[in-house]
Structure 1
Amino acid sequence: MSTPRDYDTDPGRFRVGAGLTARHLTGGTSLYALLAERLRHVPRVLDIGCADGALRAELPQVVGVDAALTLLREHPAPRLMGEATALPFADGSFGAAVAVNMLYHLPDPLEALREARRVLAPGGMFVAATPSRADSPELAEVWRPSRTTFDAEEAPELVAAVFERVEVERWDAPLITLPDAAAVRDYLVTRFVPRERAESASRQVSTPITLTKRGAMVWGFRGL
Structure 2
Amino acid sequence: MATPDAVPVDYDSNPDRYRSGARLSKAYSQADLYARVASRLTGADLVLDVGCAEGVLREAMPDTRLIGLDMAMTFLRTHPAPRVRASATAIPFQDNTFDGVTTLNMLYHLADPTQALREAKRVLKPGGVLIASTIARSDSPEFAAYRERPPSTFDAEEAPEIVRGVFDEVEVDAWDAPLVTLPTKASVRDYLLARRVDEEAAERAARELDVPLTVTKRGALLVARKLV
Q: Which runs of 5+ in 2 are unaligned?
A: none
1:52-201 aligned at under 5 Å gives the runs 52-60=54-62, 61-201=65-205
Q: Quote the offset at 1:20 in angstroms.
A: 0.2
Find the residue that maps to 2:208 and give its secondary structure: coil
Q: Which amino acid aligns with 2:8?
A: P
Matched residues in 2 for 1:81 and 1:199: separation?
36
Q: Which amino acid aligns with 1:46?
A: L
Query: Alpha-carbon deviations, 1:187-211, whole Å to 9, x = none?
Result: 1111111223322332221111000
1:4 to 5, 8, 25: 8
Q: Quote the offset at 1:222 in angstroms.
A: 0.7
Pair 1:202-2:206 in alignment:
yes
Q: Which TM-score applies when normalising by structure 2? A: 0.94
Q: Which TM-score applies when normalising by structure 1? A: 0.96
Matched residues in 1 for 2:227 and 2:94: separation?
18
* 1:17 match: 21
* Total equivalences in the alignment: 222
* 1:37 match: 39
Matched residues in 1 for 2:11 and 2:156: separation?
22
Matched residues in 2 for 1:110 and 1:67: separation?
18
Find the residue that maps to 1:122 and give its secondary structure: strand
Matched residues in 2 for 1:136 and 1:19: separation?
18
Confirm or deny: 8 A CA contact 2:147 2:201 kept in the other structure: no
Q: Which runs of 5+ in 1 are unaligned?
A: none
Matched residues in 2 for 1:143 and 1:181: separation?
17
Q: Quote the offset at 1:152 in angstroms.
A: 0.3
Q: Which amino acid aligns with 2:39?
A: E
Find the residue that maps to 2:12 and give its secondary structure: coil
Find the residue that maps to 2:103 and give its secondary structure: strand
Find the residue that maps to 1:203 and give its secondary structure: helix
Confirm or deny: 8 A CA contact 2:183 2:213 kept in the other structure: yes
Matched residues in 2 for 1:206 and 1:156: separation?
35
| % same residue | 51
Matched residues in 2 for 1:188 and 1:122: separation?
41
Confirm or deny: 8 A CA contact 1:40 1:59 kept in the other structure: no
* 1:211 match: 215
Q: Quote the offset at 1:34 in angstroms.
A: 0.9
1:44-55 aligned at under 5 Å gives the runs 44-55=46-57
Matched residues in 2 for 1:195 and 1:92: separation?
46
Query: Alpha-carbon deviations, 1:124-181, whole Å to 9, x = none?
Result: 1101100011111122222243211001000000000001111100011111001122
Q: Which amino acid aligns with 2:40?
A: R
Confirm or deny: 8 A CA contact 1:101 1:131 kept in the other structure: yes
Matched residues in 2 for 1:176 and 1:136: separation?
9
